[in-house]
Amino acid sequence: MTISLLPKCFAMLKGNRQGDMLDLPSLPLDKEIPRYVFERRGAISLGLPTSPKPRKNICGGGPRLSRRGGVSVDVEDVEAKYLRLLGDTEPPTRKTSTITQFTVKTSLKDLRRMQSTESDMTDPGVYAGRFKRKMSAPTVTRHRQCNDGLVEWSQLNRIGFWDFDTLSIARITKGRCLFYIGFQLLIKHDLFEEFSLDVMSVLKFLNLLEQHYEPENPFHNATHAADVAQALHCLLSNLRSIDSFEPKELLASILAALAHDVNHPGVNQNFLIKTASHLMKINGNTSLLEQHHSKVAKSLIKESGIISHLSLTDQDEVLQIVEDLIMATDMAQHQKYVNNMKALMVSGYDSQNPEHRRVVLRLAMKCSDLCNTARPWSTCVQWGKLVLEEFWRQGDEEKKMMFDVTNMFDRDQCVPSKALTGFIDYIAEPLFTLWADFCDTSFTRDICRLIDNNRSHWEEVITLPV
């Protein structure tokens, strides 16, 4: 059948001849694919579900299962193939963080200096304790000169305090605060011991996560993700019913907070829709950013193998909670989650009901995502400058494309006092008040007072401080 078609094909090609050249389309497969595309971190080697041996890599050399970042999955696993679907168009380059102005390096150097003997790696509990002593003990007095003075490494010891300054940690760790804070939070909740987490898989996950945040974003970067995770830790730790949450829920909550904005493009959903972004074509125009973050997060969780030793049922449950909590950060669906929490408070909260606990976790995630408005003023004003700068950069691009630009995204028209006090009045203050009504603790009431204080400060701001 195929042979009989060949004469017709040659006849068609002969008819399209222009001079001595054939008028053939230039297809992607007509070009040689660079080797780095297949060897890059995150590339996935696909194998048949029923085959005992994975399929060979199409560029030769056999399957790449032993290389760093490699993962072999079934062809039906859509989530694990998500990053591969996006692909690389350029060789990986080293980038510089907007906040730290330091080159962000990802290597095993930091990991090796935290371990003194190879035997420690066999026991996650022992290694976790060693990490905690080395990174957060008050005896560690090493300092770095920062814009706002000397900051101690021992600040990590205050990870459970609401006035914890993630921006300072980002400076003293050269932009790697997500790595250190993420590891500390897993220790704080005893998750290494609870799930027998493999230390190297955890480190691999945190490294991959950092690499997939865009350091050039002023606000939606790894520092913001670490800040949200630390805030979630504080909010959940001060719940009277914290012990009612299952360890799987706490693990998934920390993973979701760390990954909730992973691979954020630095623009909002409306911009992606107006520019017909590839993300819109893949995820549609409903919660497209949150869908993207969720898929990337689950891909990295699978690629790192951080929960691969758990049962399939437990893995599915953790991934489902991660997706659920990341989707809850969609501001377009803000009122829906607020109304669900109000309904729960009216009907009565049952800590033994999994769905009730999920509603609480969603609201805690939403509060954590907006925690910058509730931090002490010295920290709040820094986050305010960063979020406005990201908005204004989008506005600059919209002007170049001749799009209509809203006042908040126009650096020439935006009034910081109006923009940020309006956000507090309509979003942040009602949200944290609802959380405080549910928790009914002095800790949550203090947070509400901080928000009121920050609002008063923003009213007096005419131009952003340098």
Which residue, chain included where needed, has tokens 């898989």?
A: 201
Greatest Cα-to-Cα distance within the chain, rounded to the nearest angstrom: 84
Q: Give the residues of the chain that fall short of pLDDT 70.
A: 1-81, 83-154, 462-466
Q: What is the DSSP letter of 75?
A: T
* Residue appearing with tokens 């001060």: 238
Known catalytic residue: 220? yes
Distance CA 295, CA 314 (A): 18
Q: What is the pLDDT of residue 281?
A: 85
pTM for the model stands at 0.74
Which residue type is seen at 236?
Answer: L
Rounded to 5 degrees, φ, ψ at 210 are -60, -40
Q: Dump pLDDT digits (tens) for 131-155.
A: 333 333 322 223 333 333 334 456 7
DSSP per-residue string spanning 250-319: HHHHHHHHHHTTTT--SS-HHHHHHTT-HHHHHH-SSSHHHHHHHHHHHHHHHHHTTTTTS-HHHHHHHH
Burial level of 460, CB count in 10 A (0-12/13-18/19+)? exposed
**Rounded Cα–Cα distance for residues 239 and 433 (Å):** 15
Catalytic-labelled residue, pool 189, 212, 220, 292? 220
Q: Check residue 155 and give its pLDDT.
A: 77
